[in-house]
Structure 1
């Protein structure tokens, strides 16, 4: 097993500033990951490739992140967390600069893959770091504050990046992200307190122990210990909920534009406004969920997933502008908030292996994204547009059933060990 070798005194103002900087780092990562979607025509024309080829930037990015997350997370456990976060965001900044300077599609792809190598480690480390910055019993709240950066990326980052790229050129949009990444790196170096490295302990991972029980701290042993986390039934339950839910989500969300156009006649500015509303509702949902996730994790997650199921079912059978808008807003509010209770569950069930367990969660999410996009494309190509939200609703319902049956992983309530010493 692995553990953080100390957290230090992180109460007071320090942790709030650090959480804000982590949220800003999450903001730039999420913005960059999805920005090519909004700039498909500009990148395609600028590099003389098809839009389908540009679309592969997302697929290859997700695939490499999924493959490398667990081993790279294990290999970086000996790096102090405050230094690691700064390095990962610095890698992001360099990759965005390289993307903006790329003279051809091949080098643009390489720059994206360079960023993808840091992506999985970043998302595996950010929640455990946030938890270490929080008072006792408030790790879920801290995670929700950091994940506000994800929601803000959907509300502001992607629309602004798309608008900038359309107005000044796609390269300028990537340069802006490079600047934002550089500023985030400097802020992390300035604000994050000293956070010691994650170190092997207790000889719990048999692959990393000698015959007398001593832990052998080698890169191979760390990778084996990280992979051993997959065998945990509790982590398997979280990964199952994540994959099932995300497959349904991205099968439907990938085709949200034709869905709302067909159901409500929304396109152009109206569609953009609705997508902005989706992100805004997600921002609100994340704030609300953060208030309850530490005390009632199971019901919080179950309600969010049930709302996703109901909203997608409504989209599959209903028509009309008001009906569609309300369903999309409910969908956005619920799904955007779901990573908070899921990530909190990871931290809770694997207190001595948070980074490795988070890596498994990140991989499950990436598999869900890729699988959902693939399934969605097959169904959409076959003319089953309105079957997509129905599929998402069914898979969300299946996720609710898994949550209800895994009470040890998603308990009805948790009594804090002691009152929080400060307010987040």
Structure 2
């Protein structure tokens, strides 16, 4: 994975590269785990409404499709602001920028917990979405600076472990607490965790300078680099498929009389996601292409199982599909973050944040449209239709995008 001289210098300042003759450095666990918690908070803040959607809709006096747009506006804010935020804050100290983003999570979740006004809630969902753009833009760069070149993929995997942990532990626990004590308490607890994270970042995460003007290049120019468009297409279609189904998973489960098992279903999905991230972290530096193909196939088979529910309804099929979906989904963030950084560096990362969140928003909007017109049974068909071209692109991008051997991984 190529880095600029400036990035290499920052990495040396941050973690202190050993001189020749010493043992190769390992991973700095405390700062990486703090970054993983920041990823956890970003996903938890974004996706928590999916687990308590009916309750939020009822208390804010709106329909479930309207409440589902709480995920949509968050993702739109992240996607639209990603590139402008990266450009505008390029010269800032990186630690200060990360602290501001986490503080914004704390404020936004506090307002959500106490607000009784739908419009006010949506405004602070936008604020949280902009904060997420900062977090996603910083995490991979930090992970790369903190790790030696041969462990950068693994460092990214550790940092991105916050995503499946949010899905496996945070969302099901939030759903359970929301049902037991109310969804407002859940958002209040998320705000408290954000405050605690501020202290951890202050204590453990090293600072790094911003980039000087002479070292900045136009972000959109990265689109010309070989492999960047292939990776971004996979990001767009995969994330769209995932969010069509995940945003309205409560409505889908209600169709098959499993709404009462929502927290258990999400827990099974999340545990499978966690297993996936462990496998991905161990193999990403050597098997990125194979893991991406496997991830797509697993999700596609899960969609087929959910389609079969219309003919063979049963809880076994639902849980089997959740396991396969989780195994496919858990490592996706690590795989795609690593792939785009291999071919596009920091500029590719900014494009990925925009693409990821724009199509995450598109998933919420498309899912709401499908819910109103064709019903929840249409979700797995849409997933399958999107994953077929994903698989074709990954298989075809053998030279650039998803090569058999990652550059610099040896």
TM-score, scaled relative to structure 1: 0.84
Pair 1:133-2:146 in alignment: yes
Q: For residue 402 of structure 2, what is the aligned residue in structure 1?
A: 410
Aligned counterpart, 1:342: 336
User: Alpha-carbon deviations, 1:249-287, whole Å to 9, x = none?
Assistant: 222334444545656x53413x43122100110010011
Match in the other structure for 1:274: 265
2:85 to 72, 77, 81: 72
Say which is worse superposed, 363-372 or 275-284, in terms of deviation. Answer: 363-372
Q: Which moved more, 1:91-100 or 1:282-291?
A: 91-100
* Structure 1, gaps ≥5 residues long: 206-224, 419-424
Q: Residues 28 and 153 of structure 1 are in contact (CA less than 8 Å); yes or no, is this contact kept in structure 2?
A: yes
Question: Which structure dedicates a bigger proportion of its chain to helix?
Answer: 2
Q: Is the 8 A contact 1:10 1:133 kept in 2?
A: no
Residue 240 of structure 1 pairs with residue 233 of structure 2: yes
**Structure 1 segment 14-53 matched on structure 2, within 5 A:** 15-53=28-66
For residues 170 and 262 of structure 1, the distance between their equivalents in structure 2, rounded to whole angstroms, comes to 23
In structure 1, what is the Cα distance between the partners aligned to 2:271 and 2:72?
A: 26
CA distance in 2, matches of 1:72, 1:25: 18
Corresponding residue number in structure 2 for 1:221 = none
- 2:242 matched to 1:249? yes
Counterpart residue number, 1:401: 392
Q: Secondary structure at the match of 1:128?
A: helix
Task: Identify the residue that residue 373 of structure 1 maps to in structure 2.
Answer: 364
Contact 1:10 1:135 in 2 (8 A): no
Q: Secondary structure at the match of 2:150?
A: coil
Cα 1:158–1:321, aligned 2, differ >3 Å: closer, same or farther?
A: closer
Q: Provide the residue aligned with 1:56 in structure 2.
A: 69
Partner of 1:304: 295
- 2:220 corresponds to: 227
Structure 2 matches for 1:344-359, cutoff 5 A?
A: 344-351=338-345, 354=346, 356-359=347-350
Structure 1 match to 2:10: 6
* C-alpha distance 102-82 of structure 1, shift in aligned 2 (>3 A): same
For 1:261 and 1:49, the matched residues in 2 are separated by: 19
Cα deviation code 1:8-54 (max 9, x no counterpart): 23576872111111111111221111222333444445444554443
**Which whole-Å CA distance do the structure 1 matches of 2:319 and 2:184 have between them?**
34
Contact kept in structure 1, 2:41 and 2:194, CA below 8 Å: yes
Give the alignment partner of residue 116 of structure 1, picking from 129, 147, 151.
129
Distance 1:142 1:360, change over 3 A: same
Alignment CA distance shift 1:80-1:249 (3 Å):
same
How far apart, in 2, do the equivalents of 1:266 and 1:257 lie?
9
Question: 2:225·2:344 contact (CA, 8 Å) conserved in 1?
Answer: no
The equivalent residue for 2:97 is 84
2:407 and 2:226 mapped to 1: Cα distance?
23
Distance (whole Å) between structure 2 residues aligned to residue 111 and residue 349 of structure 1: 35
Counterpart mapping for 1:134-149 below 5 A: 134-149=147-162
Contact 2:69–2:365 under 8 Å retained in 1: no
Q: Hey, what's the Cα distance between the residues in 1 that align with 2:247 and 2:178?
A: 21
Question: Which one is further off, 52-61 or 4-13?
Answer: 4-13
1:159 aligns with 2:172: yes
Secondary structure of 2:171 counterpart: helix
For residues 92 and 326 of structure 1, what CA distance do their matches in structure 2 show? 34
Describe the superposition over 1:328-350 as per-residue Cα deviations: whole angstroms up to 9, x where unpaired.
21111111211111000111112
Contact 2:69 2:364 in 1 (8 A): no
For residue 285 of structure 2, give the secondary structure of its aligned residue in structure 1. coil
Instruction: Determine helix, strand or coil for the equivalent of 2:176.
Output: helix
Kindly report the root-mean-square deviation, in angstroms, between the aligned alpha carbons of the 2 structures.
Answer: 2.6
Residue 316 of structure 1 pairs with residue 304 of structure 2: no
Which of 269, 275, 281 is matched with 1:284 structurally? 275
Matches of 1:259 and 1:146 in 2, distance apart? 31
TM-score scaled by length of structure 2: 0.86
The answer (yes or no) to whether the contact 1:14–1:193 under 8 Å persists in 2 is no
CA change 1:288–1:199 in 2 (3 A) is farther
